Amino acid sequence: MNEKLEIVKSELNTTTEIKDIWENPVVKFLSQFIPIPTGADSAIGKAFEIHQRKKQEQLFEIIIEDDTITIDDVNDVDCIMEFAKTMEVVSRLIRNDKIKYLASLLKNSIKDKKRNIDEFEEWLSKFSTLSVREIELLNLLYETENENMIKDNNGQMVFNRNESWKAFMNEAKSLYELNESDIISRMLGIMRTGFCICEWKANLSDTGIVVYTAPEYRNMLSKIQ
């Protein structure tokens, strides 16, 4: 058992309970009859929010650092479970090779003051459908794109789709011992998530298609790294 995890969980739950009590409509009503300095009410609420966010950040730091933590260790923490909408997503947390991805995504979402919960849940749902190898292939494509940057007509740095795809295919064949057809099949399967895009043009590459990462994937990746 991770003692640090249990301590932070307890502190977070206590803070959440006190914050919920303070925000209770009945308590709010009764507080009107108690002499509280102007602005103190909102200041207290803000203090609870800041403390709660701090404890949430500490919790996710611990989860990321300890590979032995499973979903059983955190199933009583609302800020995690509220995002885990399906057992499929929850079960991913049990696997050590995925817990870092999801924990980082959760942690950075909690830290983001402008977090979009709908967008976060969409990413969780899409991410949960990917196998470990699909995740690795997608990340490999992203890395090869970053290694093949060129300037466009406006002088902006963009990745060369054709060269990136060729480099990715060669690297994927070597790393995963897959043939060309297998790699293409898996990348087309990943398209279901919207994390990559395929262009079908015979003159683009030797394979007749080029697959490249979508802006949504790059946006999500910025919340994991």
- Domain residue ranges in the chain: 3-128, 132-222
- Split at pLDDT 50, 70, 90, the class of 29 is very low
Range of lowest pLDDT (68-82, 157-171, 203-217): 68-82
CA dist., res. 108 & res. 116, Å (int): 11
Q: What is the pLDDT of residue 99?
A: 58
User: In this prediction, what percent of the chain has a pLDDT beyond 90?
Assistant: 18
CA dist., res. 21 & res. 169, Å (int): 57
Tell me the three state secondary structure of residue 38.
coil
Q: Are 148 and 159 in contact (CB under 8 A)?
A: yes
Phi, psi angles (nearest 5°) of residue 198: -120, 135
If one looks up domain 132-222 in CATH, what number appears? 1.10.10
Shortest CA distance to 127 belongs to which of 101, 148, 108, 146?
101
Cα–chain center distance at 211: 22
Shortest CA distance to 163 belongs to which of 148, 179, 142, 183?
148
Q: Which two tokens stand for residue 161?
A: 């789709």
Is pTM beyond 0.75? Reply is: no
Q: What is the pLDDT of residue 36?
A: 47
| Span 117-132, pLDDT tens digits | 778 788 878 887 888 8
CA dist., res. 90 & res. 103, Å (int): 11
Cα–chain center distance at 194: 15
Q: Which positions ≥6 away from 91 have C-beta within 8 Å?
A: 71
Shortest CA distance to 187 belongs to which of 124, 104, 176, 95?
176
Q: Are 186 and 118 in contact (CB under 8 A)?
A: no
| Span 155-190, pLDDT tens digits | 777 778 888 899 999 999 999 989 988 999 999 999
